[in-house]
């Protein structure tokens, strides 16, 4: 099994990588926070793909900050 396939299996719904990629996370962030300017997709938690060039992003819904 490739590294990308393994990451997809562990982290994404249904083993699909698309929900953890940039475009999907930007869409989700805009939907969850419609009044926030330049919120961004969420924190980058790793890289996937054949050359490790595509960022895997944690969505804002899944992360939290404690002060």
pLDDT tens per residue across span 24-47: 888 888 998 899 988 888 888 888
To the question of pTM greater than 0.75 for the whole model, the response is no
Question: Is pLDDT above 70 for 53?
Answer: yes
CA distances from 47 to 21, 30, 32, 34, 36 (A): 10, 23, 24, 27, 26
- C-beta separation of 13 from 19 below 8 A: yes
Question: Is pLDDT above 90 for 48?
Answer: no
Higher pLDDT, 13 or 48: 48
Which residue's structure tokens are 């490739």?
Answer: 2
């Amino acid at each position: 099994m490739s590294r990308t396939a393994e990451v997809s299996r562990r982290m994404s719904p249904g083993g699909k990588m698309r929900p953890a990629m940039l475009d999907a996370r930007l869409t989700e962030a805009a939907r969850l926070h419609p009044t926030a300017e330049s919120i961004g997709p969420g924190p980058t938690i790793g890289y996937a793909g054949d050359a490790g060039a595509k960022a895997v992003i944690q969505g804002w819904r899944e992360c939290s900050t404690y002060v």
